[in-house]
Amino acid sequence: MSNTTKVTIKAFRFNAETDYLPYYKSYEMEVGKDELVLDLLNRIKWEHDGSFSYRRSCRHGICGACGIKVNGKAVLSCKQNAMDLVELFGSELTFDPQSKKRVVKDMIIDKSDFWEKHAVVKPFVVADIDEHPTHETKVTKEEVENILDADYCIQCGNCHYACPALEVNEEFFGPAAFVAAYRFTVDPRDNAGKERLEMTSQLGQGVWDCVKCFECAEACPKEINPIEKITKLHNLEFEKGIATRNVATKHAEGFLRGMKKTGYLDEADIVLYSEGILGMYKHIPTAIKMMKSGKIHWHSGVPFINSIPKIKNLDEVQKLIKISQTNRL
């Protein structure tokens, strides 16, 4: 029995200096069960076309250089087994760069927006260093656990270029910058936490513009779960009194208010609470669609009518909220 499978790879090709339009080129090869996506990239270059370009350096999932997309799935080439992808997608694999609109050549993209946003949140410990320290700085086990797993980030950019909020809003810092902001804000040696929380609380660029789609968590090869760090930044902003009253923070308050009152998610009430009556009329087309699909009732949209019934065991829900709430909104 053969230990290999015939695979067709369709690779995105584009040279920003010479090509007017991008195109796909197909390469056929027998792929072994232990080969990684990086091996296939190497084989395209070494066996088929020496001009094929991609980034790689460490081959050990450390340098963060080799992120690409295979059939739309963000992968770290040197960690991703190719046959697992064949099992998932079949024997035709499409290799794309992380972001087509930023391509310099083939799989290589211009990551400057990623690095600029990363740098803005000060991804380092900001501290006054005593030039002649008399003792070491001790960090407790709990404090270290707080930093992990955010500290495992290798800045591959997979989450950043998988984020739909970033695609439509260039100001948005993106999940990797938030991971870094969180990691250094909770570092007990750092003094710039307030500054980072202020930056990441701004509407447009900050954590409140995340739409909680979980694409970043899916895309991360280090299983860091950036959205968890985003939620922790939300909490820290409330705890430290940095969160300002705006439509996003009022949305969080409105959610909590509704859950306490009825135990149900009252979409209409949240909109009314966070955006006011005028804001509510903006959402009439969406409300009609939601009514049609049975997600809200017609009377839910009428302001000031308490039409949502109370859930059975509301007191249990209220107790759960009390136990789980880490801060006051």
Q: Summarize as ranges the residues that interact with ligand SF4 (CB under 6 A).
A: 153-159, 162-165, 175-176, 179, 210-216, 219-220, 222, 224, 226-227
Pair 175, 226: CB distance under 8 Å: yes
Instruction: Closer to ligand FES by CB, 57 or 306: give it.
Output: 57
Per partner kind, with CB cut-offs from 5 to 8 A, the member of ligand FES, ligand SF4, none near residue 175 is: ligand SF4
* Residue 81 lies near ligand FES (rule: CB under 6 A): no
**DSSP states of 184-226:** HHT-TT-S-HHHHHHHHTSTTTSGGG-----HHHHH-TT---H
Pair 223, 149: CB distance under 8 Å: yes
**Secondary-structure percent of the chain, ordered helix, strand, coil, rounded to 5:** 45, 10, 45
Instruction: Closer to ligand FES by CB, 158 or 205: give it.
Output: 158
* Residue 65 lies near ligand FES (rule: CB under 6 A): yes
* Residue 45 lies near ligand FES (rule: CB under 6 A): no
Residues in 138-197 that interact with ligand FES by CB under 6 A: none
Q: How far is the CB of 121 from ligand SF4 (least distance, A)?
A: 13
Residues in 234-273 that interact with ligand FES by CB under 6 A: none
Q: How far is the CB of 212 from ligand SF4 (least distance, A)?
A: 5
* Residue 63 lies near ligand FES (rule: CB under 6 A): yes
Cα separation, 80 vs 64, in Å, equals 13
Q: How far is the CB of 39 from ligand SF4 (least distance, A)?
A: 21
Alpha helices in the chain (DSSP H): 37-43, 82-89, 112-120, 141-147, 164-168, 175-185, 193-200, 215-219, 226-239, 247-262, 267-282, 284-292, 314-324
Interacting residues toward ligand FES by CB under 6 A:
56-59, 61-66, 76-78
